[in-house]
Amino acid sequence: MKARSPGSRPAQGAAEVRPVTGQPPGSHLCPARHCRARVPADKLMCPVHWAKVPRPMREAVWSTWRNGGGGTRAHAAAVRAAIAAVTRQEKTR
């Protein structure tokens, strides 16, 4: 049984894989406008912006995630709605 961890190919002078210290692999930037927060792969946005998403939308994101995971149309729509809600609040302040 060979244990090959994903992404362990030799990086020889390739600047494409940049180790981010203290960040789990697969993390991404918060999708809210102007937010530079790093978010773990299993979360949609940083805690600050997630808190701005109206509760029904948060529940829609979670329930569509559980029921088929990311990549489903329902989940993508729920995610888009949540991001749009945050973006709207950012604009109106």
**Least CB distance to Zn ion at residue 82 (A):** 12
- Name the minimum Å distance from CB 83 to Zn ion: 10
Q: Report if residue 35 touches Zn ion, rule: CB under 5 A.
A: yes
Q: What separation in angstroms does the CA of 83 have from each of 35, 43, 59?
A: 12, 13, 14
Residue 37 lies near Zn ion (rule: CB under 5 A):
yes
- Bridge partners (DSSP) listed for residue 29: 38
46 binds Zn ion (CB under 5 A): yes
22 φ/ψ sector (left φ>0, alpha ψ -120 to 50, else beta)? left
For Zn ion, the binding residues (CB under 5 A) are 30, 32, 35, 37, 46, 49
